[in-house]
Amino acid sequence: MVQLGLIGDNIARSRSPALHVEAGRLCGLEVTYERLIPIDLGRDFASVFLHCRNSGYRGINITYPYKEAVVRLIRVDDVPTAQIGACNTILFDADVPRGFNTDRTGFIAAFRKSFPGEQPGIVAMAGAGGVGKALAFALERLGARELRLFDTDRARASSLKTSIEAAGAAMRVVVTPDIAAAAADADGLVNCTPLGMVGHPGSAVPAAHMRTARWAFDAVYTPVDTQFVMDARAHGISVMSGYELFFHQAVDAFRLFTGCDVDPEALRAALGRQDAAA
């Protein structure tokens, strides 16, 4: 039995349980995977985390808005994860829990699969929180020439810029005053805010600022067709949905949890059959 879970807000519709249980089945493992919403449990985040640590969980995933908060509760040995300063995957296999960031590796894999042979170019990104940090470092690894950051918390965007520069990245990073300045003549548009998520209507990038982009990505995947995604498609922009990041980061997390490499295509097909039957 491999006991796993997900801590986050607004995760009642998360597909993570289905994915990890099915990945386990394909690898001959019995996997349980629980959604753990602190407010519903009447606890704060740290209390739920400690419950998982002390209750036999092999590991947990962390999602919005706790990817940065968890760092103070764990050990981070992985250099890219330490540079990012946010974790979405935790292993309870030592005296001190270990943290990893599969958002970074998952985005790299998803981008290469969705846009084979493409370079990110100049990228406008809204949101510099936990997932934004991971995607910024992923974009640098993918060879982006320039990253334009916009966040309503300008200090958070400036902090991410400092972290990327301190890591010796070749990518130019600019903090912009608004999304219009970020999106002007950008090749790619990225949403790393909760806007578009169930309970958070709207879009971080108004349709009027989508004129020059050739590709777009929305980190939100519930629902898959957010306002941002629909507007981008209406402008003829090639879109990578948030589901692709969710899928690839989960495959990487499953490998960390179990040591097993699940066949991605078999897993995708199995999940598709589940959705068709629902």
pLDDT at 222: 87
Range of the domain at 162: 104-241
66 assigned to active site: yes
Q: What is the DSSP letter of 72?
A: G
Same domain, 254 and 236: no
Amino acid at 225: D
Whether the Cβ atoms of residue 6 and residue 14 lie closer than 8 Å to each other:
yes
pLDDT of residue 200 exceeding 80: yes
Q: What is the CATH number of the domain that holds 113?
A: 3.40.50.720
Same domain, 42 and 119: no
The percentage of the chain sitting over the pLDDT mark of 70, rounded to a whole number, equals 100
Same domain, 131 and 237: yes
Same domain, 95 and 16: yes
DSSP string, 200-253: --S-SS-GGG-SS-SEEEES--SSSS-HHHHHHHHTT-EEE-HHHHHHHHHHHH
Active-site residue among 33, 66, 221, 243?
A: 66
Same domain, 97 and 108: no
Same domain, 215 and 135: yes
Residue 228: name the closest of 171, 179, 273 by CA.
Answer: 179
Residue 70: name the closest of 86, 57, 81 by CA.
Answer: 86
Give the gyration radius of the chain's Cα atoms.
18
Alpha-carbon distance values, 140 to 63, 130, 147 (Å)? 22, 16, 8
pLDDT of residue 255 exceeding 90: yes
Strands 59-62, 89-91: parallel, antiparallel or unpaired by DSSP?
antiparallel
Same domain, 193 and 270: no
Q: Where is 98: in which H helix or E strand?
A: strand 98-100
* Span 14-41, average pLDDT: 98
Confidence of residue 143 (pLDDT cuts 50, 70, 90): very high
Q: Could you give the CA distance from residue 62 to residue 66 in angstroms, rounded to a whole number?
A: 6
Whole-number average pLDDT of the chain: 96
pLDDT of residue 278 exceeding 90: no
Same domain, 80 and 121: no
pLDDT of residue 251 exceeding 80: yes
Model pLDDT for residues 123-139, shown as the tens digit of each residue: 999 999 999 999 999 99
Q: Could you give the CA distance from residue 255 to residue 262 in angstroms, rounded to a whole number?
A: 8
Same domain, 237 and 249: no
pLDDT of residue 81 exceeding 80: yes
Model pLDDT for residues 3-22, shown as the tens digit of each residue: 999 999 989 999 999 999 99
Confidence of residue 198 (pLDDT cuts 50, 70, 90): confident
Q: What is the CATH number of the domain that holds 268?
A: 3.40.50.10860
* Span 42-71, average pLDDT: 97
pLDDT of residue 100 exceeding 80: yes
Whether the Cβ atoms of residue 70 and residue 91 lie closer than 8 Å to each other:
no
* Span 56-64, average pLDDT: 97
Evaluate the CA torsion angle 216, 119, 246, 181 in order and state its sign.
negative
pLDDT at 123: 98
pLDDT of residue 94 exceeding 80: no
Domain total for the chain? 2
Same domain, 99 and 109: no
pLDDT of residue 147 exceeding 90: yes
Same domain, 60 and 142: no
Same domain, 137 and 40: no
Q: Bridge-partner residues for 148, per DSSP?
A: 124, 174
Indicate whether this model's pTM tops 0.85: yes
